[in-house]
Amino acid sequence: MKGVEKVDLTVVNAPGVLGRVVGHIRREGWNIKKLNVDETEDSKVSHMSMSVEGTNTKLAQVLDRLLNLDCVLGVSMIQDGREIVRKRDTAARETTAPKDEVVASCPDKPLDEFRILVVNPGSTSTKFAVYDGETAVLSHTLRHDERELSSYATVPEQKSYRKKCIVDKLNEVGVNFKSIDAVVGCGGLLKPIDSGTYIINDAMLRDLHSAAASIHASALGAIIGSEIATELRIPAYVVDPIVVDEMDRNAKLSGMPGVERACAFHALNQKAVARRFSEQIGRPYENARLIVAHLGGGISVGAHRYGRVIDVNGALSGEGPFTPERTGAVPIVPIIQMCFSGEYTEAEMIQKIVGKGGLRAYLGTVDLRTVQKMINDGDEFAALVMDSMAYQVSKEIGSMTAVLEGQVDAILLTGGLAYSNRFTGAIKQRVDKMAPVYVFPGEDEMLALMRGALRVLRGEELATEYD
């Protein structure tokens, strides 16, 4: 007879741990009925709980073999009402959990390298870095107080504040501004364009200041980058902005004539992670079929077919999963009724969907670490909200599997939320039968921006004029 046994594991909080443990259990022929992953107060350690279908004697042997995995620190099992505990007497090793980058003193620029300043603003942070060739000589993340940002009526009004923060920090570490050869920033909500590196020109800046483009902080990457570059009389670029549009024509129709599905997603990071994974497996990105889920303040899930993103949810237009600060897809009739209720302005309704939805609306925070602490303290509603967000991401991945006709080489999870083992574990539990799942916590956007500009400076690629 088979019974369901409860197994608890203490594991090192590092990428790939969940796959190793689950793979080990399944190779033994046991069926995992339920799986949960939770963070602990120790950022280096996570707690994994699962219900496993198998015989008691064999399961105990499996637990011994699990403890031989270097990522497993302890295992316990409830058997016949009695708890069996096995522990490893070693401390958790260092992990790749996110840390604030330390800004060191900036060295002199080598004579044979190009120096590039990279600017990448997010909704509540501004990342910047200085590269000599492909070597980062300094990098930093400015984390802005939400109360400070909320004092500005619009995103463009934050420009001077954010620019001053960057310039002050660069001066603090002794950067010689005359040594910078180019500035590159993330793009914004421009017109649909092809993938590539673009010169920031007057036409682009005009479009970035439009009402539609200025709602997203990514517009500030090009705006701030252009101002710094103009002062230094050097070129400024954007690379693969969020409006890169490679969608298949079948993906464009919305069902309502006059309203076409727009393509606005985390193109830079999705493309960078897809290329990085393809290099790791020794296959050209142009020969791969991948699903990439960028999990951050916004969430976009794209179907990558042979180097092109043929479909992706419109994360800014109300499609896909809800996120830390966006509603995602919601029933449309109640929204129409709210719009005509007289209680909200157009700007307030847009803000409800784009900036004040999701985790913020339900729990009053966009920080997954805060949500995890709420869960650890016994907040069942916080657990429901977090698990529901993972559930909706899984549904979107399933829809992109259909777009790729079920032929998927891998599913890649990336972005800041991918640091949460609980969140990625809940997604893996639902989608890992569709294709192998790989986690790339954080994002490669800074590296991708630098490489786009460097290819142009080295003459390996021509920059495109935006019009």
Can you give the pLDDT of all 467 residues of the chain as single tens digits?
Answer: 345 567 888 888 765 667 667 766 666 666 777 777 776 766 678 878 877 775 544 555 666 667 767 678 888 776 555 566 766 543 333 333 334 454 557 889 999 999 999 999 987 789 999 999 999 999 888 888 878 888 888 888 899 999 999 999 999 999 999 999 999 998 888 888 988 899 999 999 999 988 666 667 888 999 999 999 999 999 999 998 888 999 999 999 999 999 999 888 899 899 989 988 998 899 999 999 999 999 998 999 999 999 999 999 988 788 999 999 999 999 999 999 999 999 999 999 999 998 899 999 999 999 999 999 999 999 999 999 999 999 999 999 999 999 999 999 999 999 999 999 999 999 999 999 999 999 999 877 899 999 999 999 999 889 999 98
pLDDT at site 275: 87
Q: Which of 10, 5, 68, 79 is nearest to 39 (CA)?
A: 10
CATH topology of domain 115-244+446-465: Nucleotidyltransferase; domain 5 (3.30.420)
The 10s digit of each residue's pLDDT in 206-255 is 999 886 666 678 889 999 999 999 999 999 999 988 889 999 999 999 99
Domain with CATH 3.30.70.260 in the chain: 3-87
DSSP classification of residue 158: G
pLDDT at site 62: 65
pLDDT at site 299: 95
The beta strand positions in 264-391, using DSSP E, are 289-295, 299-305, 308-312
Q: Which of 189, 139, 187, 205 is nearest to 166 (CA)?
A: 139
Q: 219: which 2 tokens?
A: 């517009």
pLDDT at site 63: 66
Name residues whose C-beta falls within 8 Å of residue 189's C-beta, 6 or more positions apart in sequence: 208, 212, 213, 215, 216, 218, 219, 242, 243, 264, 316
CATH topology of domain 267-442: Nucleotidyltransferase; domain 5 (3.30.420)
Domain with CATH 3.30.420.40 in the chain: 115-244+446-465, 267-442
The 10s digit of each residue's pLDDT in 328-356 is 999 999 999 999 999 999 999 999 998 89
Cβ neighbour number for residue 90 with a 10 Å cutoff: 9
DSSP classification of residue 250: G
Per-chain mean pLDDT for the chain:
86
Query: HSE-up of 288 (CA within 13 Å, CB side)?
Result: 26
Tell me how far apart the terminal alpha carbons of the chain are, to the nearest angstrom: 70
Per-residue exposure over 142-169, b if at least 16 CB sit within 10 Å of its own CB, e if not: bebeeeebeeeeebbebbeebbebbbeb
The CATH-assigned architecture of domain 3-87 is 2-Layer Sandwich (3.30)
Per-residue exposure over 69-86, b if at least 16 CB sit within 10 Å of its own CB, e if not: bebbbbbbbebeeeeeee
Q: Nearest 5°: CA angle at 244, between 200 and 458?
A: 50
Q: 459: which 2 tokens?
A: 């003459």
Instruction: Give me Rg for the CA atoms of the chain.
Output: 24
pLDDT at site 179: 96
Pinpoint the alpha helices (H) of 124-186: 146-150, 159-172
pLDDT at site 58: 53
Q: 4: which 2 tokens?
A: 């369901």
Q: Are 242 and 271 in contact (CB under 8 A)?
A: no
